[in-house]
Amino acid sequence: MLRIDALKAIYGHLERCVVVTIMGATAAELQALGHRPNFFYLQHAMGLASSMGLGIALSRPELKVVVFDGDGSLLMNLGGLTTLARYRPRNLVHVVFDNESLLSVGGFPTATSTGSDLAAIAAAAGVPRTATVRELDEFVAAFEQALEANELTTLVAKVEAKGPAVFVTDLPLLENRFQFARYLKELARAESAP
């Protein structure tokens, strides 16, 4: 499975979600499919995308939050899985694209290439719903079930270590940040309106 195909297959669902992605290939591929104001790309601070997703999910329980994490990023914040599990927000879907490598910095293999099992780690941390999927149709079904489940889910999608040729896009970081915050603010205003 290619990550870009996985993103493309679920792209339609993301319009109604709040999305936080990690840096590099994942951010570039989602932008290539079409940026939306409800997408935030954390272009650095590896490991903290899931923590950001938790902060949004706890602050705004009415929103459905989707985090697109990666194996390299998640391995930098494994403790954060225990924090996710501790508060287990029902409105958070945590997708981990596991290509078993640090693709964006040269493709060096991560520990998932030698057997570390992120879904098992998430389950052991206490995340109530976890799964590992390898095929596209399997991924789409598992993602749709996670959106419906109303329970914290960590979904590990094994993908090929392939990404776009370049990672820099024409969306400045701060433009993304302020647009995203404004979108969440207007959403809150729309919901509180009579």
Partner 1 sequence: MPVSLAGSQLIYDALKGCGVTLISALPETWLVHLIRMAEEDPAMTLVRLAKEEEGVGISAGAHLAGVKSAMLMQNHGFLQSVNGIVSLARLYRIPLLMLISYRGEFGERDPWQTEGGGVTEAVLGALSIPWARLEEPGHVASRVRKAQTLAESSLKPVALLLCRDLMWEE
Q: For partner 1, which is the closer residue by CB, 83 or 150?
A: 83
| Pairwise CA distance, residues 58 & 50, whole Å | 12
**Number of neighbours of residue 111 by Cβ within 10 angstroms:** 13
Q: For partner 1, which is the closer residue by CB, 52 or 149?
A: 52
Cβ 159 to partner 1 shortest distance, Å: 23
Q: For partner 1, which is the closer residue by CB, 82 or 113?
A: 82
Cβ 140 to partner 1 shortest distance, Å: 26
Task: Report in angstroms the alpha-carbon separations of 174 from 4, 35, 45, 89, 190.
Answer: 25, 14, 15, 27, 24
| Pairwise CA distance, residues 173 & 177, whole Å | 6
Cβ 185 to partner 1 shortest distance, Å: 6
Q: For partner 1, which is the closer residue by CB, 30 or 42?
A: 42
Q: For partner 1, which is the closer residue by CB, 8 or 35?
A: 35
Question: Tokens for 161?
Answer: 């270590």
Q: For partner 1, which is the closer residue by CB, 54 or 157?
A: 54
Q: Which residues bind partner 1 (CB under 8 A)?
A: 20, 40, 42-45, 47-60, 63, 77, 79-80, 82-83, 86-87, 173-174, 177, 180-181, 184-185, 188
Cβ 42 to partner 1 shortest distance, Å: 7
Cβ 126 to partner 1 shortest distance, Å: 12
Identity of the amino acid at 76 = M
Cβ 172 to partner 1 shortest distance, Å: 11
